[in-house]
Amino acid sequence: MSAKLIKGTVIREEILEEITKEVAKIKETHGVVPGLVTILIGESPASISYVTLKIKTAHRVGFTEIQDSQPVDISEEDLLALIEKYNNDDSINGILVQLPLPKHIDEKKVLNTIDPDKDVDGFHPVNVGRLMIGGDEVKFPPCTPAGIQEMIIRAGVETSGAEVVVVGRSNIVGKPIANMMFQKGPGANATVTVVHTRTKNLASHCKRADILIVAAGVPDLVKPEWIKPGACVIDVGVNRVGEKISEKTGKKIAVLKGDVDFDAAKEIAGSITPVPGGVGPMTITMLMKNTLKSLKSKLKIA
Ligand code: NAP
């Protein structure tokens, strides 16, 4: 059997198209568009490339976008003041501080200073709490888990009553996606097990999963014999395992591998996400969705 591929690259295009249409409609009826600011500290090439992609995507869907680049030696006090400035700016609906931050800055303090109603990354404790309560209380689901849930829904995978096993318990992926999958509502209502490095007999848990979500950061951790025939496998892992020359550009690029042995797993799973091109493209897409949601909630429109 060869599994159906759940491609984030395709789902991303569908969602960005929907967002673009909605933004145009709001502009016509209310005369405003969502505003997103990304704050970049320093010049790490990886951070610059993530921020550039976020800004490009925001521009594509019709948002007002600001890239606020600050020197690596900005003081914590000045950074907090900058965030407050955007908290009080009516034209800004989403504030994003690109992580990681330089060592002299307290990341927790920075994230907690962002107005929870503009915290489109969904990392503020208020939004983590809202996610835990579920239902209408949820304001900004964190982007990677929201992308995973959206992929599962759009792939037509039944979640109600399904056994979901999540490998990993990080604050940005494992914990929130586990929480989202057992809530009442569409794309949820599942029975969830979370496994981690202290779990005994990892394979036996994975084998029970109708939906297996893997976010461990260990290349090829999940073996084909751990997968229930016909299961939906969502591979969140992005692991750099080497370098190659791109056929397109002739430049050196990273060779990426997921946490699941893809070639073997696709012969057993019913559906599976590839790496790259699976969950990866969904994160920025859901950031756009959250920023639009922020403006809609301010305008009190559905
Ligand atoms: P993380 O903070 O390092 O957490 C990894 C989790 O996996 C931990 O809970 C750890 O358990 C568990 N784990 C590690 N090795 C394991 C093993 N051998 N058996 C069982 N559990 C194991 O990582 P993360 O931030 O969640 O990211 C996970 C992966 O997803 C990474 O490859 C990352 O690059 C990728 N990622 C992708 C996206 C995207 O595509 N947009 C976004 C975020 C992350 P303990 O808690 O016991 O240590």
pLDDT greater than 70 at residue 166: yes
Strands 239-245 and 252-257: antiparallel
- pTM for the predicted model, two decimal places: 0.97
SS3 percent helix, strand, coil of the chain, rounded to 5, is 40, 20, 40
pLDDT tens digit string along 189-199? 999 999 999 99
pLDDT greater than 90 at residue 163: yes
pLDDT greater than 80 at residue 172: yes
pLDDT tens digit string along 79-123? 999 999 999 999 999 999 999 999 999 999 999 999 999 999 999
Residue 194 in contact with ligand 1 by CB distance below 6 A: no
% pLDDT > 70, the chain: 100
Per the listing, tokens 């914990």 go with: 175
**Which residues lie closer than 8 Å to 217 by C-beta, 6 or more apart?**
168, 237, 238, 239, 259
What is the average per-residue pLDDT within 12-33? 98
pLDDT tens digit string along 121-155? 999 999 999 999 999 999 999 999 999 999 999 99
Query: What integer best gives the mean pLDDT of the chain?
Result: 97
Residue 95: in which H helix or E strand, if any?
A: strand 94-97
Segments in 155-209 forming alpha helices (H): 174-182, 202-207
Helix or strand or coil: residue 257? strand
Q: How far is the CA of 257 from the centre of ligand 1 (A)?
A: 13
For 22, the token pair is 């909605």
Residue 211 in contact with ligand 1 by CB distance below 6 A: no
For 287, the token pair is 């950031």
**Which residues lie closer than 8 Å to 22 by C-beta, 6 or more apart?**
292
For 273, the token pair is 């996400």
Instruction: Round to whole Å and give the CA distance between 279 and 12.
Output: 10
pLDDT greater than 70 at residue 1: no
Instruction: Round to whole Å and give the CA distance between 250 and 126.
Output: 46
Residue 236 in contact with ligand 1 by CB distance below 6 A: yes
For 78, the token pair is 């000045």
pLDDT of residue 96: 97
pLDDT of residue 248: 87
Grade residue 290 by pLDDT with cuts at 50, 70 and 90: very high
In this structure, which amino acid lies at residue 20?
T
Which residue among 54, 118, 266, 289 is the active-site one? 54
What is the average per-residue pLDDT within 10-30? 98
Instruction: Round to whole Å and give the CA distance between 292 and 301.
Output: 11
pLDDT greater than 70 at residue 227: yes
Beta bridge partners of residue 167, listed in sequence order: 195, 214
Nearest ligand 1 atom to the CA of 259 is 32
pLDDT tens digit string along 247-285? 889 989 999 999 999 999 999 999 999 999 999 999 999
Residue 146 in contact with ligand 1 by CB distance below 6 A: no
